[in-house]
Amino acid sequence: MQSDTVRRLARECGFELAGVTRAQPPAADFGRYQEWVSQGMAGEMRYLTDRRAEVRRDPRNLLPGARSIICVGKLYNQAAPPEQEGHAIFSRYAWGRDYHDVLRNALERLAQQLMALEPHEWKVCVDTAPLLERSYARQAGLGWIGRNTCLINEPLGSWFFLGELITTLELEPNSPPPDRCGTCTRCIDACPTEALVPDGEGWTLDARRCIAYLNIELRGPIPDEQRPWLGSRVFGCDICQEVCPWNARAPETSDPAFRPLYDPAPPLDDLAALSTDEFRERFQGTAVMRVKHGGLLRNVAAALSARE
């Protein structure tokens, strides 16, 4: 089957980006991943360091007999409201419906459309699967991995969710594009916590210093010395993407699934007063539910203390 056919069907399922690569170990990237883990840069994200780390060595651990990986990108970019003193900042990926559900449903539709052309076994992966998805997306031609560690597409930028369909189909693979970051270091210079660090071959993310790690992944209290780093960011952080020149003209999503389901810049005082039921009512069905009520209140408290 030609990769053009796959890309056409993927567009019909709502994906702006699509490409194909072999279902094989991700070349040297797994070694870099192991080194990243060994240096402790995953912090407390045990799903990246436990037995699932070894599963990432080969996609056929997820689907025996797999021959190809269809990699897709789903645009979520929207214009952010201006930052206001005393108001919270939510990462724009979390404004609408939880992307896991949106991408999974669309990938299942793609799998069924391919099934109508040729029977195959398949497995959908969206973010949570033990798969080095950026590596495969690069190999499939969706973009290059920038210094901010995001996958960047020319000319569409980096505001994409990534998903994969591992399949037993033998598909024509695409080729990776060249790296076009050049000498630009805007993301590195703009990161307020210096979370982007050199790794000998380029740049990588020390998650322990990343704002999105501190206000989403970290469980328990945020260390006192790190609390000011959050500023008003109570869920995620978009700084390294906002300053990227490739995002200067990035298009906005037209998918109604990602329209804001809540005010993305509410007063911090209002969030601090939310009850558990009010939290659930406001954020149900969005990625914000990941931090739960207590986690959001922790982040809001850090933001309020930084304002004092």
Measured distance CA(263)–CA(249) in Å, rounded: 24
101 catalytic, yes or no?
Answer: no
Choose, from 127, 255, 263, 270, the residue flagged as catalytic: 127
Q: End-to-end alpha-carbon separation of the chain, Å? A: 61
Cis omega (within 30 of 0) on the bond before 155? yes
Measured distance CA(86)–CA(243) in Å, rounded: 23
Measured distance CA(39)–CA(37) in Å, rounded: 5
Catalytic residues: 127
